[in-house]
Structure 1
Amino acid sequence: MTFARPDHAIDLDTLPRMPAWVISARAETLEDIAFLSGAALTHLHLVLGHEEVPQTLLRDRFALRAAAACVAFSGRPEREAELRDAIHLLRPGDLPGPVGETYLAWRRAAERRMSIKALGRALPTIDPGQIAAWLDAGKGAPVTRAAMVLEAVLREAPRADIAGLILADAALTQALGWDHVVPLLAPALKRADLRKHGEDLRLACHRALIASAVEAVRLAADLARRAAHLKAVAPKLRAKGAGVAVEMFLTRDAMAPSALPLPDRAARRLCDRLVDLGAVRELTGRDTFRLYGV
C-alpha cells in the first residue's frame, strides 16, 4: 500500500469552486429556482469527478447529516454527536435503538453502489418490489423525479419519512447517472416541506438541493485537503496495521479506536499520534469513549 509523499502534495486548487451567483442569487419562481439547482448539481457533479475527493467519506458524512435531520423531523432531541455514539459505541449484542437504526439506514443507502438490493438492505422492512414501484413513480427532470418519488412514498405511507427521503435521493441518483446515493435532500429540507405536494414540494426540493450542493462542494474541498494531509503523514506511522487504519479513516465519518485492526492500546496511541500530526480530529471532547475522524 502506498500513499502520497509530503513533497508531492495534491493541487487542490484544481477543484472547481461553486459560482458565486449560484449562492447569492435570489429567485422566487419555480423556473428560476430550477435553473439554480441545475447549476448547483452540475457543479457538484464536476467536483465529485475529481479523484482527490474522498467520495465514500463525503457520502458517509452526509449520511450522518441526513440521519440527524430525520431524527429531528421525528421530534427527538438527539443530534449528530448522539447518532455517532449510537453506532460507534455499540457493544457486541447491543441493539442500536431507533436513532441508531435511522443512521444505519442512511449509511447503508450510501455505502454501496445503488441498486434495488442495496436499497433493500437500507430499508429491510420494505419489500423490494415496493421499492422498485416507488422509484418508478418519478418521471421527468432529476429534481422533479425525486420530488415525485418522495410524494408517492408519503402518500401511501405518511409516516415513512426516512424511506421517502432515501428513495427520493435514489431517484435523483438514477436521473443524474451517479453510481452511489449522495444524501442531499434530507439535510436541507424542513419538516413542513414533507407535507407539501406538487409544485410546492418541487420548489422545496430545488431549494434544498441548492443548499446541499453548495455545502457538499465546500465539504468536498475540505475533506480533500484533510485526506491529502492524512496520506502525506501516513509514512511516519510505524504501527503494524497503520496503513489499513488510514484507509478506514479515509472512508468513514468517525472511528472508535476499538474498530481499528490493532490491539486496543496500540490503536489509542495511533489515534493520538494522528491527532498530534493534525491528520485526524477527536470528535467528542471526552476523555473516554472517544471517536476520531478526518
Structure 2
Amino acid sequence: MMPPEPSPIAVLPLHLPAWATRCLVERGGTDRAVPAGPAQTGAALAVLDAAVTAAVPYAGAWADRLALTAAAAAVARSGRPEDEAALRDLVAVTPGAPAGPAGPVLGASLWLAAGPPGPRWSDLPSLIAGLGARSGGLPDELAQALAAAADRPCPLAAAAAALQAVLAVRPGRDALAVWAADLVLARWLGWPHGLPLVGLGLPQGRCRFLLKIFFARFGRQNKCPGQAESIGLQS
C-alpha cells in the first residue's frame, strides 16, 4: 500500500514566522492557549495561501481529505453517528451526489474542495437548500447575502458576515453557517479551492459559543483585524 500523500504545508518550505508563535507563548505560557491576534491570523493566512496556490499535484487529494474530516466533524456536531469511514463509503457507493441524511453536508464540503467558488456560485441555492435552508426563496436570498459578505474589506470580516447571514435566518443550522464562512473566505482570498478552516477550527461542543464570538466581533461592522481586538478562535 502506498503511503498517503503529504499536505503541501508538510512538503513546501512554509512555516509561521518565529514571532507569530513566540508571542503567543509569551502571552499565555506553554500550558495555556491564548486567542490569536490580528498579526498571527494574518501570518497563518499567508502561509496557507502559499500552500493552496502552490498547485502541487496532490492538492486535490489534500483538499478532499480535509473536506471529509470537516464533514465528519459537522455530522458529529449534529448528533449523527456517521464517521469519516462511513462518509467515505457514501462517496464510494453513490454514483452522483452522496446520499443519506449526511449526504448534503458531505456533498457541500466536497464541492468547496473541488474548485474556486466564484465561477460556480449558481450552485449555491441547491447546496444551501440541502443544508437545511429550503423555505421559499431563502436559498437564493442567502446566496446573494454571501456574495455581499465576500465584498467586506477583509477576509475575517467577510467570514463573520457569512456566519451572521446564516444564523440570522436559521439559528440552528451550524453546519450551513460554518460552511458558508469557509466558502466566503475562499472566494475573498481568490483560492483555487476552499479549505474548511472555520469548520475544522470549532471544537466539539463549543460551536455555538465560538460562532457568537466570531460574528459579534466582526459581523456587525466593516472592521479589519488591524482595527479590532483579537478574535476568539484559538491559534
What's the TM-score once normalised by structure 2's chain length?
A: 0.69
Residues 80, 168 of structure 1: CA spacing in aligned structure 2 closer, same or farther, 3 A cutoff? Answer: same
Q: How far off its partner does 1:68 sit?
A: 0.9
1:184 aligns with 2:213: no
Aligned to 1:203: 231
Partner of 1:97: helix, strand, or coil? coil
Larger deviation: 32-41 or 186-195? 186-195
8 Å CA contact 2:126, 2:139 repeated in 1 = no
Q: How does 1:42-57 map to 2 (within 5 A)?
A: 42-57=46-61
8 Å CA contact 2:52, 2:191 repeated in 1 = no
1:37 aligns with 2:65: no
Aligned to 2:179: 166
**Aligned-pair Cα RMSD in Å:** 3.1
8 Å CA contact 1:106, 1:122 repeated in 2 = no
Aligned to 1:194: 208
What's the TM-score once normalised by structure 1's chain length?
A: 0.56
Residues 155, 34 of structure 1: CA spacing in aligned structure 2 closer, same or farther, 3 A cutoff? Answer: same
8 Å CA contact 1:117, 1:128 repeated in 2 = no
1:114 aligns with 2:124: no
For 1:19 and 1:134, how far apart are their aligned partners in 2? 30
Q: Which protein shows a greater Rg?
A: 1
The partner residue of 1:76 within 80, 92, 97 is 80
8 Å CA contact 1:63, 1:110 repeated in 2 = yes
1:19 aligns with 2:19: no
Residues 121, 33 of structure 1: CA spacing in aligned structure 2 closer, same or farther, 3 A cutoff? Answer: same
* 5+ long unaligned stretches in structure 1: 1-11, 211-294
Aligned to 2:144: 132
8 Å CA contact 2:142, 2:165 repeated in 1 = no
Residues 120, 111 of structure 1: CA spacing in aligned structure 2 closer, same or farther, 3 A cutoff? Answer: farther
For 1:72 and 1:13, how far apart are their aligned partners in 2? 28
Tell me which amino acid in the other structure corresponds to 2:217.
E
Q: How far off its partner does 1:88 sit?
A: 1.4
For 2:54 and 2:96, how far apart are their aligned partners in 1? 40
